[in-house]
Chains A and B, each alone.
Chain A
Amino acid sequence: MTDKVILLVEDDPRDQELTMRALARSKVEGRVVIAHDGVEAIEYLFGQGPHSARDVQDLPALVVLDLKLPRMNGFDVLKRIRADPRTHLLPAVILTSSGEERDRLEGYSSGANSYVRKPLEYTEFASAVSQLGLYWLVVNQPPPPTRAGKP
């Protein structure tokens, strides 16, 4: 239980790198765990598959979700998070290329705490990512921990 974890669900290695870089340059104290698609994210959160040894009580401080992902998309990951009593309060934000109205609508309807469109220009992108990190890990007060079976 040392540093806070950001679960970054992102399939594009270049976007992963740019995001990690932006977080590293900001004053956010945290460790980034990467899930390469929706299924990996679920396995990590609920201690399944390769993550079966993980303590599922130890939730990340923030989930950053891309929408278009292989196997299971961001909306479905979000719905799974919200449907489970262990994770239903977990802060989750969408970070995506899409600014489409229907994606924003479905994002918030699926239970996103925030929706950020990835700016194309790098300095704006870096600033958006570091602001996200700062806000959710430093400024924001997290929800109290929930125990399994006792939501």
Chain B
Amino acid sequence: MSQANPAAPRALLERDYASALADFVSGTGEEALNRAYLIGRRAASAGIGLLDMATLHHQALAELPPARGPDGARRMALAGQFLVESLSPFEMTLRAHQDSARLLGLGGASGAQDSQIDRAREQLHTILDATTAVIYLKDSDGRYLFVNSQFQAVFGVRRQDVIGRVDHDVLPREAADMMSAIDRAVMEGRTPRELEESITEADGEHTWLSLKFPLIDDLGTPYGLCCVATDITQRKEQDEALRRAIEAAVVANRELEAFSYSVAHDLRAPLRSIDGFSQVLLEELGDRLDPQGQKYLGYVRESAQHMGQLIDDLLGLARVSRGDLHRGPVDLSATCRCIAERLQASEPARLVEFTIEDGVVADGDERLLRAVLENLLGNAWKFTGKRPLARIEFGARPEPRPATYFVRDTGAGFDMAYVDKLFGTFQRLHRTSEFEGTGIGLATVHRIVSRHGGRVWAEGEVDRGATFYFTLEEVSR
């Protein structure tokens, strides 16, 4: 209680005390007595001690004009009353001290007869010792009032060697300097503080997350400090590992992007040569090749073109996997109509009846959802190619949430036994001679729907058509 007495409040207090005392002894009554109490409270919160208060009283008394006889005796009695009143806040502070000390079993002297307090103390101790956190209490002079078991374990000290001592008696100098400086700052600042502290223990460096808060009594006077510290070494390591993993993933992603990019450029160039010079051969030397030779050159060209398509589709798959989702309302009906028109224009002779439900709007990335519908409607168009008359349908079932969207066709269908293979990369259920394709379209659909937090599945029957369903996560707005 003797530290941190700024001179200014002290001087102010002296003046207040003297004037209030003078008022009271001259008979202004109750009001002046209240002032005595308030001055006491202020003194207690400013950290002014009991002895200081007694000195203050003595000085103020000495400054009063002299009085003798019955007047003098009456004045002494009033002055005594004033002193008692000004000290009463200290008494309450003291009681708060004693209560908390009794609860923690520090004070020793009192309380033993109160079994309720005993039980509470026991429970509190059990809890404080059971936790993996390090917990300690210090008084305002930095002396340990209490340490829990974990404190003993971490610092390798015994409780009885710590209580009543300060950091520098207990801890290595460097640690003690740091800890006492921080603790003092918390007490003086009167605000809780959270900080990370590194402590070297037997098994290496540990990181502790400490919450330190001043203990303040009902009168606003700080009388100590409590610290609860949690070992976050493991969490720190996990954070670090996670950070490194994310960094590695970012690097890998960048490399993959660079890879896709050179695939786009470099893998296509030789294919163009293979296709181009095969064609040149056919044009210029075609008469010197027999029909079989011409057919083989045709195969060379077809293969080159097929590989080109594979590369393009793979690049498309890579493209839908990267980049941010730009979510917004997407008019699926309009998108379907647009795709249907284009499909019809690509083969005007085909008779395909499109049934597209109106006003189906979903929440998602427009470019990616368009790719989903292009793939699904494109497939429907492709697998109805051998039908003289075909039907392709798009619609939605809003309930149950999330809404289910579907694309249905009356085409070649598929055997449900192979339904699991449908969405894998390069997986095909039909021979290339029946239906062209690279086996990447549905993998792309699957990737996009997953990125939208949705699900995609299919139902089909050989020669009786197929239905593809998908959902999208509904983002609440």
Contacts and interface: CB of A to CB of B under 8 A. Distances in A.
Nearest to A102: B261
A120 B301 CA distance: 10
Interface residues of A, number: 18
A122 B264 contact: no
B272 A96 contact: no
B271 A120 contact: yes
A97 interface: yes
A14 B264 contact: no
B279 interface: yes
B279 A123 contact: yes
Interface in A94-120: 96-100, 118, 120
Chain B: interface secondary structure?
helix
Contact of A122 (B261, B265, B269, B275): B275
Interface string B297-334: 00001001100100000000000000000000000000
A12 B269 contact: yes
Interface string A117-140: 010111101000000000000000
Nearest to B323: A101
B273 A18 contact: yes
A14 B304 CA distance: 15
A100 B264 contact: yes
Given A15-B272, A121-B305, A96 B265 contact: yes
Contact of B272 (A68, A99, A100, A125): A125
Contacts, number: 55
A12 B268 CA distance: 12
A51 interface: no
A118 B280 contact: no
B273 A120 contact: no
Given A120-B268, A120-B272, A120-B305, A14 B261 contact: no
Interface string B267-301: 01101110111111000000000000000000001
Contacts of B280: 18, 21, 122
Contacts of B271: 120
Interface of B: 261, 264-266, 268-269, 271-273, 275-280, 301, 304-305, 308
13 contacts: A14-B272, A15-B272, A18-B272, A18-B280, A21-B280, A68-B265, A98-B264, A118-B268, A118-B272, A121-B275, A121-B305, A122-B272, A125-B276
